[in-house]
Amino acid sequence: MEDIWVYIAQHNADAADALIGKFRVRFALLARTPGIGRRRTDLRSDLRSFAVGNYVIFCRELEPTIEIVRVLHGAMNLPAQFR
pLDDT in tens, 11-67: 999 999 999 999 999 999 999 998 899 999 999 999 999 999 999 999 999 888 899
> How does DSSP classify residue 14?
H
Instruction: Examine the pLDDT at 8 and tell me if it is beyond 90.
Output: yes
Residue whose C-alpha is closest to residue 57's, from 48, 44, 66, 45 = 48
pLDDT recorded at residue 35: 85
Is 2-81 CATH 3.40.50.300?
no
CB 60 within 8 A of CB 67: yes
pLDDT (average), residues 65-75: 95
pLDDT recorded at residue 64: 83
Instruction: Examine the pLDDT at 83 and tell me if it is beyond 90.
Output: no
- The residue ranges of every structural domain in the chain are 2-81
